[in-house]
Structure 1
Amino acid sequence: MTGEPAFFSVDRTPHGDVLTPLPTAAGNWGPNRMRGLAVSGALARAVEHAVPDSEFRPVRWTLELCRVATMDRCHADVRIIRTGKRISLVEADLLQGDTKVATARALFLKPDPDVSTADVWSQTSQLQCPPTDLSPGTEEPRLHYSDDTGWVSTPASDHNGTRKIMWVLGVRVAEDEALSAFQFAASAADVASVVGNWGTAGMQFINADVTLALARLPQGLEIGLAATDRVETDGISTSTVTVFDRSGTLGTAVVCALANVHASVDPRMR
């Protein structure tokens, strides 16, 4: 497993795990900056390990990006806010030294596969998944979709203002651990900001948070994210993204972002 990419190496100490960022965790916003996928994945890993009942299913993941996370060692501080027979609420901070760089809250519910409910409206159209034999053409483990070309291995050569859909493949959080479905979904949710805010000048918005709501976990370590709505006023944007896999829709992600036009990012570059 050590040959596969991962965001962190792990030093297991008596006081908890210490994570050291690997090159895969580096972001594009500036030197020595950690990418949101790694931040979200680190906290999801910590939260998942703290859940008292393995039968609980994660249904909401909210990540707040408090400060710039650097490519320095970090650790998570986890708190169980509430736990009961059908619900568990867990909160975690990501710390670098004494500085809190991110905080997250996860809601877990216990599913009941035998429950029978009445009909309620839901979207019936299915989003198109990429061919199973199509592989990413860059270092980023992603595929790209447009109405003109369908699914392709690399992003368009020019920036554009069309709707964005991406297919994301899993990157392990810790280099010596298997990636769980929840860690993958929570980490990949940060891509919702790219899907929602990539326009004719690249990425001019930097997200302050992401909230992921799930009816189920992905079946396999690959998911799609499709922009469904976006509102922008006075340099503030909110984007709503549908999350899906080859079996259908999983849930939605919502991202709030601020304009950052003086330090735009080209999502085509790694």
Structure 2
Amino acid sequence: MNENTFQFSWFRQSAAGFDPLPLAQSLWRADQMHGVAVSGLLARALEHAVRDAGRTGLVPARYHVDLFRPARMDTTTATARIVREGPRLVLLDATVEQDGEVVARAGATFLAPSAAAPGEVWAAPGERPTPPPADLLPPAGEHHVPMFASAAPWSDDFGDHQNAGRHQTWQTAVTIVEGEECTPFQAVASIADATSMVTNWGSAGVEHINTDIDLALCRLPDSTRLGLRALDHVGADGIVVGTAEVFDSTGVVGTATVTALANTRRTVDLSAGVEPRGAV
């Protein structure tokens, strides 16, 4: 089969589950999947469980992933179940398994939107992130190499962005399962793993590996094209916490946070412009 038929999907569905495609391979190790693919598969399972329960129109307001075992480039299964259901919320758990062993898990809360409260509340001052200039991007619907901005301006040349500046990225989500349409929730859940890139990429490369993903949304993104911009990076004794704003073409939709461990033995050095497949 021509490799071009699966170059923009993380998985191909089979009778046994989901088979990771070459694009899902991590830069940390050749036999390991990156968190973008794992998170996307978890989000798909959660979304399908909500749909099967007949609960349409809900917002996935909270999404948490624990990446506690390296997911291998092997056949994978993903399941989700409803833990609590009420008029205004659905609470769910999901797992990803390989060879009968859980390698990642997720929890999510889907909420019913309503009229906004009228009172005024403090919000952080300052300008909000915006996408790269339109002339740097392909037409909507076309996939492209992730764009980054840092101490250097927007570009898809990763060598330009190995610096200590404030990082942000703009990406078109890759389809989770070949032959299916990627949804906005699947898009934001998968791209949220790139929070580790924008908050942990510095002058020596990406020297930390994230163990989780936390995503909080006030609304769904307006499409499967969206961005992340670093808000903060704090650390002590090899443990760091990175937080990013999540934004689409019309504004900020929420925040994403990752907790990460120093991983200098396997630093991902992007100074030569090596292109990550979506995340490390």
- Structure-2-length-normalised TM-score: 0.88
Whole-Å separation in 2 of the counterparts to 1:205 and 1:189: 16
Native 8 Å contact 1:2 1:176 kept in 2: no
Query: Equivalent residue for 1:256?
Result: 259
Report matched runs for 1:74-85 at 5 Å: 74-85=76-87
Q: Which runs of 5+ in 2 are unaligned?
A: none
Query: Equivalent residue for 2:95?
Result: 93
Q: Offset of 1:214 from its aligned partner?
A: 0.4
Native 8 Å contact 2:149 2:161 kept in 1: no
Report matched runs for 1:25-104 at 5 Å: 25-51=24-50, 52=53, 53-104=55-106
Report matched runs for 1:6-17 at 5 Å: 6-11=9-14, 13=15
Helix, strand or coil at the partner of 2:149: strand
**Pair 1:235 & 2:234 matched:** no
Query: Equivalent residue for 2:187?
Result: 184
Native 8 Å contact 1:189 1:253 kept in 2: yes
Q: CA RMSD in A?
A: 1.9
Query: Equivalent residue for 1:128?
Result: 130
Amino acid at match of 2:123: S
Helix, strand or coil at the partner of 1:88: strand
Q: Offset of 1:161 from its aligned partner?
A: 1.2
Native 8 Å contact 1:226 1:241 kept in 2: yes
More strand by share: 1
Native 8 Å contact 2:173 2:224 kept in 1: yes
Helix, strand or coil at the partner of 2:169: strand
Whole-Å separation in 2 of the counterparts to 1:216 and 1:2: 33
More helix by share: 2
Question: Which deviates more from structure 2 when the two are superposed, residues 154-163 or residues 259-268?
Answer: 154-163
Q: Which runs of 5+ in 1 are unaligned?
A: none
- Structure-1-length-normalised TM-score: 0.91
Q: Offset of 1:115 from its aligned partner?
A: 4.1
Q: Offset of 1:118 from its aligned partner?
A: 1.2
Helix, strand or coil at the partner of 1:173: strand
Cα distance per residue 1:46-96 (max 9 Å; x no partner): 110001201211011101001000000000132211111100011111000
Helix, strand or coil at the partner of 2:233: strand
Helix, strand or coil at the partner of 1:189: helix
Query: Equivalent residue for 1:117?
Result: 118
Count of aligned positions: 262
Identity of aligned residues (%): 40
